[in-house]
């Protein structure tokens, strides 16, 4: 009986899924938005809690707030800056949690590809 309990304990410990959690977007991110021949550096700091994302950042000297969601691997963000239309970002978080590849969309300005690196 003791041997059975020991084997059961070893199996249960081996089945611990705490290391199998999806990566989060919490952290500092930077990248360059590219649209045609134009480029724009972007930096932001994001915090994720239960799939809700918030944060702040800057681009071209303008500060912005970020709100959004993350349901691994999909990341959906909205950039909110005073005096500008809100911009949407749709991206995919890489499995190691170190890169998001996606597209920014600005009303009246078009789209730009943006790869963010942690």
Domain count, the chain: 1
Q: Considering the domain boundaries, does residue 47 fall inside one?
A: yes
Whether 89 is covered by a domain: the verdict is yes
Q: Is residue 18 part of a domain?
A: no
54 belongs to a structural domain: yes
Does a structural domain hold residue 100? Answer: yes
What residue numbers bound the domain in which 70 lies?
Answer: 24-117
Separation between Cα atoms, residue 89 and residue 79, nearest integer Å: 8
The values of phi and psi at residue 30, to 5°, are -145, 155
Provide the CATH number for the domain around residue 85.
2.40.128.120
Q: Give the pLDDT mean for 76-81.
A: 97
Tell me if 3 is assigned to some domain: no
- Using alpha carbons only, how large is the chain's radius of gyration in Å? 19
Q: What is the pLDDT of residue 3?
A: 53
Q: What is the mean pLDDT of residues 13-31?
A: 77
Residue 99 has pLDDT above 80, yes or no: yes
Q: What's the predicted TM-score (pTM) here?
A: 0.81
What is the pLDDT averaged over residues 1-30?
Answer: 63
Cα-to-chain-centroid distance, residue 23: 9
Q: Would 17 be classed as within a structural domain?
A: no
Question: What confidence category does residue 19 fall into, taking pLDDT thresholds of 50, 70 and 90?
Answer: low
């Amino acid at each position: 009986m003791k041997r059975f309990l020991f084997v059961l304990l070893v199996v249960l410990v081996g089945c611990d899924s705490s290391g199998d959690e999806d990566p989060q977007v919490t952290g500092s991110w930077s990248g360059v938005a590219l649209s045609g021949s134009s480029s724009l550096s972007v930096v932001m700091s994001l915090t994720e809690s239960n799939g809700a994302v918030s944060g702040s950042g800057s681009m071209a000297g303008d500060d912005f707030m970020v709100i959004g969601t993350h349901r691994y691997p999909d990341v959906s963000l909205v950039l909110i800056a005073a005096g500008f239309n809100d911009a949407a970002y749709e991206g995919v978080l890489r499995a190691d949690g170190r890169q998001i590849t996606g597209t920014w969309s600005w009303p009246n300005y078009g789209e730009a590809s943006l790869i963010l690196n942690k």
